[in-house]
Amino acid sequence: MQLLAEPAHLLYCGTLFGSVSRVICHQGTWFGLLDITIDHDSPVGSRLREFAAFSEACSARQGDQDAPGPAQFAPFLDIFDGWMLRSADGATTHQIEDAPFFVGGGEISWVVKNT
């Protein structure tokens, strides 16, 4: 897997969602720090930010008795396809499997689709 020139750009269906720095890969899962730059007021920006907030809330509940299961992500299945990470220089693009996971505090993780 090729490393990404930073900051990498997190895109949803070609729309820039934010910039990712400090990108590393460990055992097939990628991690980085996200700076969200998408417009709050655009319909797609609002929907993607809603998903990111939901994902962060789920991350905070991991290990709790009421930890989220896959079914709780069902309202967001419409945005589980179309995510990609592009290197700053545009030379490398990785398609993300399903959607990135927003951990909280700017942290993000994702798995790259096998091509």
Write down the domain spans for the chain. Answer: 8-111
Q: In the numeric block, which tokens belong to residue 83?
A: 């995510």
Rounded to 5 degrees, φ, ψ at 111 are -120, 135
Long-range contacts for 14-21 (Cβ within 8 Å, ≥24 apart)?
15/44, 17/48, 20/85, 20/108
Looking up tokens 């930073």 gives 6
- 108 close to 32: Cβ distance less than 8 angstroms: yes
Per-residue pLDDT of 16-35, as tens digits, reads 999 999 988 889 899 999 99
pTM of the model: 0.84
Give pLDDT, residue 63.
61
Q: Does residue 68 surpass a pLDDT of 70? A: no
- 68 close to 61: Cβ distance less than 8 angstroms: yes
